[in-house]
Amino acid sequence: MTINEIQEELIEDFAFFDDWMAKYEYLIQLGKELPLIDDQYKTDEYLIKGCQSKVWLHADHQRGKVLFTADSDAIITKGLVALMIKVLSGHSPAEIADSELYFIDQIGLKEHLSPTRANGLLSMVKQMKLYALALQAKGR
Amino acid sequence: MEQTAVLEHFDVEKIRQDFPILTRKVNGKPLVYLDNGATTQKPKQVIDAIVEYYTQLNSNVHRGVHYLSQLATDAFEVTRRKLRPFINAAHEHEIILTKGTTEGINLVASCYGKAYVKAGDEIIISAMEHHSNIVPWQMLCEERGATLRVVPINDAGELDMEAYRAALNDRTKMVAVTYVSNALGTVNPVGEIIRQAHAAGAPVLLDAAQAVQHLPIDVQALDVDFLVFSGHKMYGPTGIGVLYGKEKWLDAMPPYQGGGEMIKDVAFEKTTYNELPFKYEAGTPNIEAGICLAHAVDYLETAGLNRIAQHERELLAYAGGRLLEIPELRIIGTAQEKSSVVSFLLGGIHPYDVGVILDKLGIAVRTGHHCTQPLMERYGIPGTVRASIAMYNTKEDIDALVAGVQKAAEMLA
Protein backbone atom coordinates (compact mmCIF):
# COMPACT_ATOMS: atom_id res chain seq x y z
CA MET A 1 0.00 0.00 0.00
CA THR A 2 1.16 3.51 -0.69
CA ILE A 3 1.48 6.11 2.04
CA ASN A 4 -1.74 7.73 0.93
CA GLU A 5 -3.63 4.44 0.82
CA ILE A 6 -2.61 3.79 4.40
CA GLN A 7 -3.70 7.30 5.36
CA GLU A 8 -7.09 6.72 3.73
CA GLU A 9 -7.48 3.44 5.59
CA LEU A 10 -6.72 5.10 8.92
CA ILE A 11 -9.21 7.88 8.19
CA GLU A 12 -11.84 5.21 7.53
CA ASP A 13 -10.93 3.34 10.72
CA PHE A 14 -11.23 6.46 12.81
CA ALA A 15 -14.59 7.36 11.27
CA PHE A 16 -16.07 4.47 13.25
CA PHE A 17 -15.42 6.17 16.57
CA ASP A 18 -18.32 8.36 17.52
CA ASP A 19 -16.75 10.03 20.53
CA TRP A 20 -13.35 11.23 21.69
CA MET A 21 -13.13 8.58 24.35
CA ALA A 22 -13.32 5.67 21.93
CA LYS A 23 -10.73 7.39 19.75
CA TYR A 24 -8.32 7.87 22.65
CA GLU A 25 -8.89 4.36 23.95
CA TYR A 26 -7.85 3.11 20.52
CA LEU A 27 -4.79 5.37 20.56
CA ILE A 28 -3.82 4.10 23.99
CA GLN A 29 -4.24 0.52 22.72
CA LEU A 30 -2.01 1.29 19.73
CA GLY A 31 0.53 2.77 22.10
CA LYS A 32 0.57 -0.41 24.15
CA GLU A 33 0.93 -2.59 21.06
CA LEU A 34 3.77 -0.63 19.47
CA PRO A 35 6.73 -3.00 19.31
CA LEU A 36 9.35 -1.72 21.67
CA ILE A 37 12.39 -0.09 20.25
CA ASP A 38 15.56 -2.07 20.84
CA ASP A 39 17.01 -0.93 24.17
CA GLN A 40 20.34 -0.03 22.58
CA TYR A 41 18.54 2.78 20.71
CA LYS A 42 16.81 4.19 23.78
CA THR A 43 19.66 6.57 24.40
CA ASP A 44 20.16 10.29 24.12
CA GLU A 45 21.49 9.84 20.61
CA TYR A 46 18.05 8.74 19.40
CA LEU A 47 16.06 10.98 21.72
CA ILE A 48 13.74 13.62 20.36
CA LYS A 49 13.09 15.83 23.30
CA GLY A 50 9.73 17.46 23.67
CA CYS A 51 9.21 19.76 26.62
CA GLN A 52 6.89 17.19 28.19
CA SER A 53 7.10 13.71 26.73
CA LYS A 54 10.13 12.10 25.15
CA VAL A 55 10.26 10.18 21.87
CA TRP A 56 13.04 7.83 20.78
CA LEU A 57 13.28 7.14 17.06
CA HIS A 58 15.46 4.73 15.19
CA ALA A 59 15.58 4.28 11.43
CA ASP A 60 16.98 1.37 9.47
CA HIS A 61 17.57 1.20 5.72
CA GLN A 62 16.93 -2.22 4.19
CA ARG A 63 16.50 -3.08 0.51
CA GLY A 64 15.57 0.44 -0.44
CA LYS A 65 12.99 0.83 2.32
CA VAL A 66 13.20 2.78 5.54
CA LEU A 67 12.07 0.94 8.65
CA PHE A 68 11.26 3.02 11.71
CA THR A 69 10.99 1.90 15.31
CA ALA A 70 10.17 4.24 18.13
CA ASP A 71 9.06 4.62 21.71
CA SER A 72 7.77 7.29 24.03
CA ASP A 73 7.49 7.68 27.79
CA ALA A 74 3.86 8.88 27.45
CA ILE A 75 1.32 6.36 26.20
CA ILE A 76 -0.86 8.74 24.17
CA THR A 77 2.22 10.10 22.45
CA LYS A 78 3.24 6.51 21.84
CA GLY A 79 -0.13 5.81 20.22
CA LEU A 80 0.40 8.74 17.88
CA VAL A 81 3.94 7.57 17.20
CA ALA A 82 2.49 4.17 16.27
CA LEU A 83 0.19 5.87 13.73
CA MET A 84 3.11 7.72 12.16
CA ILE A 85 5.09 4.52 11.88
CA LYS A 86 2.14 2.70 10.33
CA VAL A 87 2.00 5.38 7.66
CA LEU A 88 5.67 6.04 6.98
CA SER A 89 7.62 2.90 7.81
CA GLY A 90 8.46 0.48 4.98
CA HIS A 91 8.51 3.03 2.19
CA SER A 92 11.31 4.33 0.05
CA PRO A 93 13.21 7.46 1.12
CA ALA A 94 11.71 9.39 -1.81
CA GLU A 95 8.16 8.40 -0.90
CA ILE A 96 8.69 9.44 2.72
CA ALA A 97 10.38 12.71 1.83
CA ASP A 98 7.62 13.66 -0.60
CA SER A 99 4.72 12.52 1.57
CA GLU A 100 2.10 14.88 2.83
CA LEU A 101 0.62 13.79 6.15
CA TYR A 102 -2.99 14.87 6.07
CA PHE A 103 -4.56 12.02 8.05
CA ILE A 104 -3.79 13.46 11.51
CA ASP A 105 -5.86 16.51 10.66
CA GLN A 106 -8.70 14.43 9.22
CA ILE A 107 -8.97 12.05 12.17
CA GLY A 108 -9.23 15.01 14.52
CA LEU A 109 -5.89 14.72 16.26
CA LYS A 110 -4.29 17.80 14.77
CA GLU A 111 -3.89 19.44 18.17
CA HIS A 112 -1.19 16.91 18.99
CA LEU A 113 0.98 18.15 16.17
CA SER A 114 0.86 21.73 17.39
CA PRO A 115 4.28 23.06 18.41
CA THR A 116 2.85 24.19 21.75
CA ARG A 117 2.01 20.61 22.68
CA ALA A 118 5.69 20.02 23.17
CA ASN A 119 5.24 16.26 23.07
CA GLY A 120 8.07 15.68 20.61
CA LEU A 121 5.74 14.43 17.88
CA LEU A 122 6.19 17.28 15.46
CA SER A 123 9.95 16.99 15.81
CA MET A 124 9.64 13.27 15.23
CA VAL A 125 7.85 13.73 11.90
CA LYS A 126 10.50 16.26 10.87
CA GLN A 127 13.21 13.82 11.90
CA MET A 128 11.62 10.98 9.89
CA LYS A 129 11.57 13.15 6.80
CA LEU A 130 15.10 14.42 7.37
CA TYR A 131 16.30 10.86 7.66
CA ALA A 132 14.59 9.97 4.38
CA LEU A 133 16.04 13.05 2.69
CA ALA A 134 19.52 12.16 3.87
CA LEU A 135 19.19 8.63 2.50
CA GLN A 136 17.80 9.97 -0.74
CA ALA A 137 20.77 12.30 -1.13
CA LYS A 138 23.18 9.49 -0.35
CA GLY A 139 21.51 7.26 -2.94
CA ARG A 140 22.06 9.73 -5.73
CA MET B 1 -15.05 52.27 37.84
CA GLU B 2 -17.67 50.45 39.89
CA GLN B 3 -16.47 47.49 41.91
CA THR B 4 -18.62 44.53 42.69
CA ALA B 5 -19.51 44.59 46.34
CA VAL B 6 -18.27 41.46 48.01
CA LEU B 7 -19.99 40.83 51.30
CA GLU B 8 -18.42 39.95 54.60
CA HIS B 9 -18.36 36.26 53.89
CA PHE B 10 -16.71 35.11 50.72
CA ASP B 11 -19.40 34.68 48.07
CA VAL B 12 -17.72 32.61 45.37
CA GLU B 13 -20.81 32.50 43.15
CA LYS B 14 -20.89 36.27 43.08
CA ILE B 15 -17.17 36.35 42.29
CA ARG B 16 -17.68 33.88 39.44
CA GLN B 17 -20.23 36.19 37.83
CA ASP B 18 -17.44 38.73 37.39
CA PHE B 19 -15.38 36.35 35.23
CA PRO B 20 -17.08 35.99 31.83
CA ILE B 21 -14.76 33.24 30.57
CA LEU B 22 -15.88 30.86 33.31
CA THR B 23 -19.20 30.34 31.57
CA ARG B 24 -17.70 29.08 28.31
CA LYS B 25 -17.39 25.50 27.22
CA VAL B 26 -14.27 23.62 26.23
CA ASN B 27 -14.54 20.45 24.15
CA GLY B 28 -18.28 20.61 24.74
CA LYS B 29 -17.88 20.58 28.53
CA PRO B 30 -18.16 23.47 30.99
CA LEU B 31 -14.69 24.91 31.55
CA VAL B 32 -13.02 23.89 34.81
CA TYR B 33 -10.05 26.21 35.04
CA LEU B 34 -7.35 24.96 37.38
CA ASP B 35 -4.27 26.40 35.68
CA ASN B 36 -4.20 29.59 37.70
CA GLY B 37 -0.54 29.24 38.56
CA ALA B 38 0.17 29.80 34.86
CA THR B 39 -2.24 32.71 34.55
CA THR B 40 -5.52 33.74 36.14
CA GLN B 41 -8.67 34.73 34.32
CA LYS B 42 -9.71 38.39 34.35
CA PRO B 43 -12.78 39.94 35.96
CA LYS B 44 -15.01 42.14 33.83
CA GLN B 45 -13.78 45.15 35.79
CA VAL B 46 -10.32 44.62 34.25
CA ILE B 47 -11.68 43.72 30.81
CA ASP B 48 -13.92 46.82 30.79
CA ALA B 49 -10.98 48.99 31.81
CA ILE B 50 -8.97 47.70 28.83
CA VAL B 51 -11.79 48.62 26.46
CA GLU B 52 -12.20 51.98 28.14
CA TYR B 53 -8.49 52.69 27.82
CA TYR B 54 -8.55 52.24 24.05
CA THR B 55 -11.87 54.01 23.56
CA GLN B 56 -11.20 56.98 25.84
CA LEU B 57 -7.58 57.40 26.92
CA ASN B 58 -5.08 55.96 24.47
CA SER B 59 -2.03 58.21 24.43
CA ASN B 60 1.63 58.04 25.39
CA VAL B 61 2.52 58.68 29.02
CA HIS B 62 4.89 61.08 30.78
CA ARG B 63 5.55 63.19 27.69
CA GLY B 64 2.83 65.09 25.94
CA VAL B 65 1.24 68.25 27.20
CA HIS B 66 -2.01 67.41 25.50
CA TYR B 67 -5.15 66.39 27.33
CA LEU B 68 -5.20 62.68 26.55
CA SER B 69 -1.54 62.25 27.40
CA GLN B 70 -2.19 63.77 30.79
CA LEU B 71 -5.20 61.53 31.37
CA ALA B 72 -3.19 58.44 30.42
CA THR B 73 -0.25 59.53 32.58
CA ASP B 74 -2.52 60.14 35.55
CA ALA B 75 -4.20 56.77 35.13
CA PHE B 76 -0.82 55.05 34.80
CA GLU B 77 0.41 56.68 38.00
CA VAL B 78 -2.80 55.70 39.81
CA THR B 79 -1.58 52.12 39.49
CA ARG B 80 1.65 52.95 41.26
CA ARG B 81 -0.30 54.82 43.91
CA LYS B 82 -2.51 51.77 44.51
CA LEU B 83 0.34 49.28 44.46
CA ARG B 84 2.17 51.07 47.27
CA PRO B 85 -0.37 50.34 50.01
CA PHE B 86 -1.19 46.98 48.39
CA ILE B 87 2.25 45.69 49.45
CA ASN B 88 2.79 48.45 52.06
CA ALA B 89 5.87 49.95 50.43
CA ALA B 90 7.21 53.06 52.17
CA HIS B 91 7.30 55.13 48.96
CA GLU B 92 5.53 55.14 45.62
CA HIS B 93 8.84 55.53 43.84
CA GLU B 94 9.93 52.14 45.16
CA ILE B 95 7.40 50.59 42.79
CA ILE B 96 9.01 49.91 39.39
CA LEU B 97 6.67 48.75 36.65
CA THR B 98 8.20 45.96 34.58
CA LYS B 99 7.05 43.46 31.95
CA GLY B 100 6.65 40.82 34.61
CA THR B 101 8.38 38.76 37.26
CA THR B 102 11.08 37.51 34.90
CA GLU B 103 12.08 41.03 33.92
CA GLY B 104 12.07 42.11 37.56
CA ILE B 105 14.52 39.37 38.51
CA ASN B 106 16.72 40.05 35.49
CA LEU B 107 16.77 43.74 36.34
CA VAL B 108 17.95 43.11 39.89
CA ALA B 109 20.48 40.46 38.84
CA SER B 110 21.89 42.82 36.24
CA CYS B 111 21.88 46.15 38.11
CA TYR B 112 22.63 44.90 41.61
CA GLY B 113 25.19 42.52 40.11
CA LYS B 114 27.02 45.36 38.33
CA ALA B 115 27.22 47.36 41.51
CA TYR B 116 27.96 44.74 44.13
CA VAL B 117 28.92 41.27 42.87
CA LYS B 118 32.53 40.37 42.17
CA ALA B 119 34.68 37.27 41.77
CA GLY B 120 34.49 34.93 44.74
CA ASP B 121 31.12 36.24 45.93
CA GLU B 122 28.16 33.95 46.44
CA ILE B 123 24.48 34.06 45.53
CA ILE B 124 22.05 31.78 47.33
CA ILE B 125 18.91 30.35 45.71
CA SER B 126 16.78 27.33 46.63
CA ALA B 127 16.20 23.95 44.99
CA MET B 128 12.56 24.82 44.28
CA GLU B 129 13.10 27.95 42.17
CA HIS B 130 11.42 28.59 38.84
CA HIS B 131 13.91 28.78 35.96
CA SER B 132 13.40 32.55 35.97
CA ASN B 133 14.90 32.73 39.47
CA ILE B 134 17.79 30.43 38.54
CA VAL B 135 19.07 31.43 35.12
CA PRO B 136 19.54 35.22 35.68
CA TRP B 137 21.68 34.43 38.75
CA GLN B 138 23.61 31.75 36.87
CA MET B 139 24.33 34.26 34.13
CA LEU B 140 25.45 36.81 36.69
CA CYS B 141 27.70 34.28 38.45
CA GLU B 142 29.30 33.27 35.15
CA GLU B 143 29.90 36.86 34.18
CA ARG B 144 31.37 37.85 37.55
CA GLY B 145 33.13 34.66 38.59
CA ALA B 146 30.77 34.30 41.54
CA THR B 147 29.33 31.04 42.90
CA LEU B 148 25.69 29.98 42.92
CA ARG B 149 24.74 28.05 46.04
CA VAL B 150 21.52 26.05 46.16
CA VAL B 151 19.67 25.37 49.42
CA PRO B 152 18.26 21.82 49.30
CA ILE B 153 14.74 20.73 50.27
CA ASN B 154 13.38 17.73 52.16
CA ASP B 155 11.02 15.14 50.62
CA ALA B 156 7.98 17.14 51.68
CA GLY B 157 9.26 20.06 49.63
CA GLU B 158 10.35 22.26 52.54
CA LEU B 159 13.56 24.24 52.60
CA ASP B 160 16.37 22.79 54.67
CA MET B 161 16.81 25.77 56.98
CA GLU B 162 19.89 24.24 58.62
CA ALA B 163 21.58 24.06 55.23
CA TYR B 164 20.46 27.62 54.53
CA ARG B 165 22.05 28.90 57.72
CA ALA B 166 25.21 27.00 56.88
CA ALA B 167 25.32 28.48 53.36
CA LEU B 168 25.16 32.08 54.55
CA ASN B 169 28.51 33.77 55.07
CA ASP B 170 30.27 37.09 54.48
CA ARG B 171 30.69 36.31 50.77
CA THR B 172 26.89 36.00 50.33
CA LYS B 173 25.81 38.94 48.19
CA MET B 174 22.17 38.00 47.56
CA VAL B 175 19.55 35.51 48.67
CA ALA B 176 16.92 35.00 45.96
CA VAL B 177 14.07 32.66 46.86
CA THR B 178 10.48 32.08 45.99
CA TYR B 179 7.75 32.99 48.46
CA VAL B 180 5.41 30.24 47.20
CA SER B 181 6.67 27.37 45.03
CA ASN B 182 4.90 27.26 41.67
CA ALA B 183 5.37 23.50 41.33
CA LEU B 184 4.79 22.31 44.92
CA GLY B 185 2.80 25.06 46.60
CA THR B 186 5.24 25.26 49.52
CA VAL B 187 5.05 28.58 51.39
CA ASN B 188 8.59 29.34 52.49
CA PRO B 189 9.37 30.84 55.91
CA VAL B 190 10.36 34.11 54.29
CA GLY B 191 10.44 36.16 57.50
CA GLU B 192 13.06 33.84 58.94
CA ILE B 193 14.95 33.68 55.63
CA ILE B 194 15.16 37.48 55.50
CA ARG B 195 16.20 37.87 59.16
CA GLN B 196 19.04 35.43 58.74
CA ALA B 197 20.22 36.88 55.44
CA HIS B 198 20.29 40.35 56.98
CA ALA B 199 22.20 39.03 59.97
CA ALA B 200 24.81 37.82 57.47
CA GLY B 201 24.73 41.17 55.68
CA ALA B 202 22.98 39.98 52.50
CA PRO B 203 19.87 41.45 50.90
CA VAL B 204 16.93 39.26 49.83
CA LEU B 205 14.87 39.10 46.66
CA LEU B 206 11.51 37.37 46.98
CA ASP B 207 9.79 35.94 43.92
CA ALA B 208 6.18 36.61 44.85
CA ALA B 209 4.66 35.60 41.50
CA GLN B 210 2.70 32.81 43.21
CA ALA B 211 2.12 34.66 46.47
CA VAL B 212 0.73 38.11 45.84
CA GLN B 213 -2.67 36.85 44.63
CA HIS B 214 -3.06 34.40 47.52
CA LEU B 215 -1.91 36.10 50.71
CA PRO B 216 -1.45 39.64 52.05
CA ILE B 217 2.11 40.95 51.73
CA ASP B 218 3.71 43.73 53.76
CA VAL B 219 7.19 44.50 52.43
CA GLN B 220 8.07 46.73 55.40
CA ALA B 221 7.04 44.15 58.00
CA LEU B 222 9.03 41.53 56.06
CA ASP B 223 11.90 44.01 55.66
CA VAL B 224 12.47 42.45 52.22
CA ASP B 225 14.89 44.24 49.88
CA PHE B 226 13.33 43.30 46.54
CA LEU B 227 9.97 41.74 45.73
CA VAL B 228 8.79 40.83 42.23
CA PHE B 229 5.45 39.72 40.80
CA SER B 230 3.35 39.64 37.62
CA GLY B 231 0.05 41.29 36.76
CA HIS B 232 -1.39 38.42 34.77
CA LYS B 233 -1.22 35.97 37.69
CA MET B 234 -3.19 38.34 39.93
CA TYR B 235 -6.27 38.79 37.72
CA GLY B 236 -4.66 41.67 35.83
CA PRO B 237 -3.40 42.16 32.28
CA THR B 238 -0.46 40.35 30.70
CA GLY B 239 2.79 42.18 30.01
CA ILE B 240 2.98 44.17 33.21
CA GLY B 241 4.69 43.34 36.48
CA VAL B 242 6.07 44.93 39.58
CA LEU B 243 9.51 45.22 41.06
CA TYR B 244 9.51 46.60 44.56
CA GLY B 245 12.94 47.66 45.77
CA LYS B 246 14.04 49.49 48.89
CA GLU B 247 14.88 53.07 48.01
CA LYS B 248 18.48 52.71 49.21
CA TRP B 249 19.14 49.89 46.72
CA LEU B 250 17.29 51.50 43.83
CA ASP B 251 19.22 54.72 44.36
CA ALA B 252 22.56 52.96 44.56
CA MET B 253 22.18 50.62 41.59
CA PRO B 254 22.90 51.71 38.02
CA PRO B 255 20.00 51.84 35.52
CA TYR B 256 18.91 48.70 33.66
CA GLN B 257 18.32 49.86 30.10
CA GLY B 258 19.06 53.15 28.46
CA GLY B 259 16.53 55.10 26.43
CA GLY B 260 13.71 57.56 26.71
CA GLU B 261 11.91 58.16 29.98
CA MET B 262 14.87 57.09 32.14
CA ILE B 263 16.97 60.21 31.49
CA LYS B 264 17.08 63.69 32.93
CA ASP B 265 19.51 65.26 30.45
CA VAL B 266 21.19 63.73 27.47
CA ALA B 267 24.35 65.13 25.95
CA PHE B 268 26.93 63.19 23.95
CA GLU B 269 29.49 63.81 26.72
CA LYS B 270 27.33 62.74 29.64
CA THR B 271 23.78 61.71 30.40
CA THR B 272 22.18 62.19 33.78
CA TYR B 273 19.54 59.73 34.82
CA ASN B 274 16.01 60.41 35.84
CA GLU B 275 14.89 59.97 39.44
CA LEU B 276 13.06 56.94 40.83
CA PRO B 277 11.02 55.17 39.61
CA PHE B 278 11.63 56.39 36.04
CA LYS B 279 15.36 55.59 36.17
CA TYR B 280 14.39 51.92 35.70
CA GLU B 281 11.55 52.43 33.22
CA ALA B 282 13.23 53.10 29.87
CA GLY B 283 11.02 53.31 26.82
CA THR B 284 7.27 53.41 26.40
CA PRO B 285 5.76 51.01 28.92
CA ASN B 286 2.78 48.73 28.38
CA ILE B 287 0.42 51.59 29.12
CA GLU B 288 -2.83 49.70 28.75
CA ALA B 289 -1.70 46.92 31.08
CA GLY B 290 -0.15 49.39 33.49
CA ILE B 291 -3.38 51.34 33.82
CA CYS B 292 -5.60 48.28 34.03
CA LEU B 293 -3.48 46.58 36.69
CA ALA B 294 -4.97 49.11 39.13
CA HIS B 295 -8.36 47.51 38.55
CA ALA B 296 -6.97 44.08 39.41
CA VAL B 297 -5.53 45.52 42.64
CA ASP B 298 -8.94 47.05 43.42
CA TYR B 299 -10.59 43.73 42.73
CA LEU B 300 -8.26 41.82 45.04
CA GLU B 301 -8.68 44.36 47.80
CA THR B 302 -12.45 44.38 47.50
CA ALA B 303 -12.56 40.59 47.64
CA GLY B 304 -10.08 40.74 50.51
CA LEU B 305 -6.85 38.78 50.53
CA ASN B 306 -7.56 37.28 53.95
CA ARG B 307 -10.92 36.01 52.74
CA ILE B 308 -9.38 34.76 49.51
CA ALA B 309 -6.65 32.96 51.46
CA GLN B 310 -9.23 31.31 53.72
CA HIS B 311 -11.37 30.17 50.77
CA GLU B 312 -8.36 28.82 48.88
CA ARG B 313 -7.02 27.06 51.98
CA GLU B 314 -10.31 25.21 52.37
CA LEU B 315 -10.35 24.25 48.70
CA LEU B 316 -6.75 23.06 48.79
CA ALA B 317 -7.43 20.85 51.81
CA TYR B 318 -10.54 19.50 50.10
CA ALA B 319 -8.61 18.82 46.87
CA GLY B 320 -5.82 17.03 48.71
CA GLY B 321 -8.27 14.80 50.58
CA ARG B 322 -10.39 13.95 47.55
CA LEU B 323 -7.45 13.27 45.24
CA LEU B 324 -5.94 10.85 47.74
CA GLU B 325 -9.11 8.75 47.46
CA ILE B 326 -7.81 7.71 44.05
CA PRO B 327 -5.69 4.55 44.27
CA GLU B 328 -2.02 5.03 43.38
CA LEU B 329 -2.24 8.79 43.34
CA ARG B 330 0.57 10.52 45.15
CA ILE B 331 0.91 14.19 45.90
CA ILE B 332 4.29 15.77 45.19
CA GLY B 333 4.90 18.52 47.73
CA THR B 334 3.42 17.91 51.16
CA ALA B 335 4.84 20.84 53.08
CA GLN B 336 3.15 21.92 56.32
CA GLU B 337 2.61 25.38 54.85
CA LYS B 338 1.09 25.28 51.39
CA SER B 339 -0.86 27.59 49.15
CA SER B 340 -3.05 27.08 46.10
CA VAL B 341 -1.12 24.30 44.34
CA VAL B 342 -1.62 20.55 44.31
CA SER B 343 0.88 18.64 42.19
CA PHE B 344 0.41 14.92 41.71
CA LEU B 345 1.27 11.77 39.82
CA LEU B 346 -0.97 8.83 39.04
CA GLY B 347 0.93 5.58 39.51
CA GLY B 348 3.48 5.25 36.73
CA ILE B 349 1.34 7.16 34.23
CA HIS B 350 3.04 10.04 32.44
CA PRO B 351 1.60 13.42 33.49
CA TYR B 352 1.19 14.38 29.84
CA ASP B 353 -1.29 11.52 29.31
CA VAL B 354 -3.37 12.60 32.31
CA GLY B 355 -3.34 16.19 31.05
CA VAL B 356 -4.59 15.16 27.59
CA ILE B 357 -7.55 13.26 29.04
CA LEU B 358 -8.41 16.08 31.46
CA ASP B 359 -8.30 18.56 28.58
CA LYS B 360 -10.82 16.43 26.67
CA LEU B 361 -13.08 16.73 29.72
CA GLY B 362 -12.83 20.53 29.72
CA ILE B 363 -10.46 20.61 32.69
CA ALA B 364 -7.44 22.90 32.34
CA VAL B 365 -4.40 21.88 34.37
CA ARG B 366 -0.70 22.21 33.76
CA THR B 367 1.46 19.18 33.12
CA GLY B 368 5.21 18.94 32.79
CA HIS B 369 8.15 20.24 34.75
CA HIS B 370 6.62 23.68 35.43
CA CYS B 371 9.91 25.40 34.52
CA THR B 372 11.51 23.75 37.54
CA GLN B 373 13.63 21.05 35.93
CA PRO B 374 16.17 20.83 38.80
CA LEU B 375 13.27 20.34 41.23
CA MET B 376 11.76 17.51 39.14
CA GLU B 377 15.25 16.00 38.97
CA ARG B 378 15.38 16.16 42.78
CA TYR B 379 12.24 14.00 42.93
CA GLY B 380 13.35 11.79 40.03
CA ILE B 381 10.15 12.43 38.06
CA PRO B 382 9.52 13.75 34.53
CA GLY B 383 7.01 16.26 35.81
CA THR B 384 3.65 16.40 37.55
CA VAL B 385 0.04 17.20 36.91
CA ARG B 386 -0.57 20.51 38.64
CA ALA B 387 -3.94 21.88 39.64
CA SER B 388 -3.66 25.45 40.88
CA ILE B 389 -6.50 27.24 42.57
CA ALA B 390 -7.80 30.80 42.35
CA MET B 391 -10.45 32.70 44.25
CA TYR B 392 -13.21 31.74 41.78
CA ASN B 393 -12.70 27.99 42.07
CA THR B 394 -15.28 25.86 43.85
CA LYS B 395 -15.64 22.43 45.40
CA GLU B 396 -17.51 21.48 42.22
CA ASP B 397 -14.33 22.28 40.24
CA ILE B 398 -12.37 19.96 42.52
CA ASP B 399 -15.03 17.24 42.19
CA ALA B 400 -14.80 17.55 38.40
CA LEU B 401 -11.01 17.26 38.61
CA VAL B 402 -11.21 14.15 40.79
CA ALA B 403 -13.78 12.53 38.45
CA GLY B 404 -11.54 13.44 35.50
CA VAL B 405 -8.45 11.92 37.09
CA GLN B 406 -10.45 8.78 37.88
CA LYS B 407 -11.53 8.61 34.24
CA ALA B 408 -7.91 9.08 33.13
CA ALA B 409 -6.83 6.32 35.51
CA GLU B 410 -9.38 3.92 33.96
CA MET B 411 -8.40 4.75 30.41
CA LEU B 412 -4.64 4.75 30.92
CA ALA B 413 -4.28 1.81 33.31
Q: Which of the listed ranges A60-74, A119-133, B239-253 does the model predict with the highest average pLDDT?
A: B239-253
Question: Is B411 within 8 Å of A24 when comparing Cβ atoms?
Answer: yes
Contacts with B352 from chain A: Cβ below 8 Å: 52-53, 74, 76-77, 119
Mean predicted lDDT score pLDDT of chain B:
95
User: Does the structural domain A3-139 have CATH classification 3.40.50.300?
Assistant: no
Q: Is B371 a catalytic residue?
A: yes
Residue B27: closest CA among chain A residues belongs to which residue?
A20
Residue ending a domain, among B301, B331, B352, is: B301
All structural domains of chain A with their residue ranges? 3-139
Q: Are residues B336 and B258 in the same domain?
A: no
CA–CA distance, A86 with A128 (Å, rounded to integer): 13
Q: Is the pTM of this model over 0.95?
A: no
**Distance between CA B167 and CA A110 in Å, rounded?**
50
- The chain A residue lying nearest B383, using CA atoms, is A52
- Please report whether residue B260 resides in a domain: yes
Give chain A's mean pLDDT: 87
DSSP letter for each residue of B214-259: TS---HHHHT-SEEEEESTTTTS-TT-EEEEE-HHHHHHSPPSS-S
Catalytic residue IDs of A: 51
> Are B308 and B297 members of one domain?
no
Question: What's the domain count of chain B?
Answer: 2
Q: Which residues pair with B52 in a beta bridge?
A: none
Examine the fold and report which residue of B263, B281, B301 is the final residue of a domain before the chain moves on. B301
Residue-wise pLDDT for A79-92, tens only, equals: 999 999 999 999 99
- Does the interface ipTM go beyond 0.90? no
Instruction: Name B119's Cβ contacts closer than 8 Å, sequence gap at least 6.
Output: B144, B145, B146
Report residue B399: phi and psi, to 5°: -60, -40
Query: Over the stretch A8-50, which tens digit does the pLDDT of each residue have?
Result: 999 999 999 988 999 999 999 999 988 778 888 888 888 887 6
Q: Are B186 and B203 in contact (CB under 8 A)?
A: no
Which chain A residues contact residue B357 at CB under 8 A? 24
**Is residue B253 located within the same domain as residue B197?**
yes
| Domain boundary pick from B267, B301, B335 | B301
Position B191 scores a pLDDT of 98
Contact A68, A87 (CB under 8 A): no
pLDDT, position A48: 83
Q: φ, ψ for residue A135 (rounded to 5)?
A: -65, -40
Distance from C-alpha of B302 to C-alpha of B300, rounded to nearest angstrom: 5
Å between A66 CA and nearest CA of chain B: 29
pLDDT surpassing 70 at residue B5: no
Test A52 with B353 for CB contact under 8 angstroms.
no
Residues B237 and B294 in one domain: yes
Closest CA to B311 of B29, B6, B101: B6
pLDDT of the residue at A53: 83
Query: Do B352 and A28 count as a contact with CB atoms less than 8 A apart?
Result: no
User: Do B322 and B214 have their domain in common?
Assistant: no
Read off the pLDDT of each residue in B131-148 and give the average, rounded to a whole number.
Answer: 98
User: Within 13 A of A12's CA, how many CA atoms are on the CB side?
Assistant: 6
Domain range holding B53?
A: 49-301
Interchain proximity B360–A51, CB inside 8 Å: no
The answer to whether residue B8 scores a pLDDT higher than 60 is no
Residues B66 and B110 in one domain: yes
CATH of the domain at B53: 3.40.640.10
Residue B202 and residue B131 share a domain = yes
- Does B310 share its domain with B277? no
Exposure letters B143-180 (e unless 16+ CB within 10 A, then b): ebebeebbbebeeebbbeeebbeebbeebbbbbbbbbb
Nearest CA in chain A to B349: A74
In a domain, residue B321? The reply is yes
Query: Which stretch of DSSP H or E encloses residue A107?
Result: none
Which of the 8 DSSP states describes residue B118?
A: -
Exposure letters B267-299 (e unless 16+ CB within 10 A, then b):
eeeeeebbebbbbbbbeebbbbbbbbbbbbbbb
